[in-house]
Amino acid sequence: MTRSGSIQLPKLHRRHRTWLSALFTAVLLAAVWLGATLLGSDNLSVNLISRNLPPSLTHPFGTDWLGRDMLTRTLKGLVLSIKTGMIAGAVSVIIAALLGLMAATMGKVADRLITWLIDLFLSVPHLVTLILIAFVMGGGAEGVIVGVALTHWPSLSRVIRAEVMNLRTAEYVQVSRRLGKSRWWIGTRHILPHLLPQLLIGLLLIFPHAILHEAGVTFIGMGLSPHEPAIGIILSESMRYLSTGMWWLALFPGLCLLIIVIAFGRLGENLRLLADPGRAHE
């Protein structure tokens, strides 16, 4: 095998895996959204005649203690978790980008302050800080979104800072400075386009952590309202009925959440390795 062949094969293989991950994730999201839309909310009404039914063709995920269809509850909960995770992840990415840019461009004092802030947030477990923020804000969707956004930006911000530091010394940036181009022109024409892939990968890697932490905080009663069909609420309520043999109440919602988390995690990781092949061998 030639040297060129030995180098190209892993790249092609990694690219194919990335496309497969993207396709699987897109199909998964489409199925969740379409299923939640088609099933509607009629199956969420109380039906004591159909309560505590195990999985069947009529109710693939079974029914709960109030006769509500668990497939409908699970899909509605997944849509809510995905929306919450996407919003929180996007806000977190914006915070990371702004602070990373500030650290790299506003001098040593700003750099040291933001670096200290990053180290501070990284030294505390995300879930602990998230619970405190959600508690202070009184829970609810707003508390969860703010909590997730304020706890998931540090790692990406450190990456953005390092990337901007490298870009500042690039030859084409130095030439633009000598030509008298403004910081805004350089930032929008040279810096930002190079950061977009990092921001996209950062969002995809933050998202699974965001929905897991949202479900965890909601599970312990500090997150979304009990009236919302959230996965964390479904899992929390199902704990009371596991001892009675109603295993399907926790199995299917938890398994679906895990599949989505793994799908987004693998997609983000494959994109990261595709963008930086050198890390694939670390």
Q: For the segment 203-230, what is each residue's pLDDT rounded down to a tens digit? A: 988 998 888 888 888 888 877 777 777 8
If you average pLDDT over residues 96-113, what whole number do you get? 86
> Looking at residue 278, what is its pLDDT?
54
CA angle 238, 244, 247 (to 5 degrees): 50
| Residue 187 scores a pLDDT above 90 | no
Burial of residue 232 (CB within 10 Å: 0-12, 13-18, 19+) is buried
| Structure tokens belonging to residue 141 | 């969707």
Q: Output the pLDDT for position 79.
A: 92
7 vs 98: which has the higher pLDDT:
98
| Percentage of the chain exceeding pLDDT 70 | 93
16-30, 53-67, 170-184, 243-257: range with lowest mean pLDDT: 170-184
pLDDT tens, position by position, 21-54: 899 999 999 999 999 888 877 778 888 888 888 9
Among 58-62, 77-81, 219-223, name the one with the lowest average pLDDT. 219-223
pLDDT at 39: 83
Strand ranges for the chain from DSSP E: none
Q: Is the pLDDT of residue 175 over 50?
A: yes
Structure tokens belonging to residue 246: 């109603």
Q: Which amino acid is at 231?
A: I
7-38+69-281 is classed in which CATH architecture? Orthogonal Bundle (1.10)
pLDDT averaged over every residue in the chain: 84
Task: Give the long-range contacts of residues 135-140, CB within 8 A, separation 24 or more.
Answer: 135/222, 139/221, 139/222, 139/223, 139/224, 139/225, 140/223, 140/224, 140/225
Instruction: Give 27's contacts (C-beta < 8 A, 6+ positions apart).
Output: none
pLDDT at residue 126, as a whole number: 80
Sign of the CA dihedral with 268 first, then 149, 85, and 164 last: negative
Q: Which residue has the tokens 């992840």?
A: 89
What span, in angstroms and rounded, lies between the C-alpha atoms of 57 and 66?
Answer: 19
Cα angle, residue 157 at apex, residues 281 and 113 outer, rounded to 5°? 130
| pLDDT at residue 277 greater than cutoff 70 | no
For residue 225, which phi and psi values (nearest 5 degrees)? -65, 145
pLDDT of 239-270, one tens digit each? 888 888 899 999 999 999 999 999 998 998 88
Instruction: Report percent pLDDT > 90 for the chain.
Output: 23
Bridge partners (DSSP) listed for residue 63: 69
Query: What's the mean pLDDT in 177-206?
Result: 83
Look at residue 177 in the predicted model and tell me its pLDDT: 80
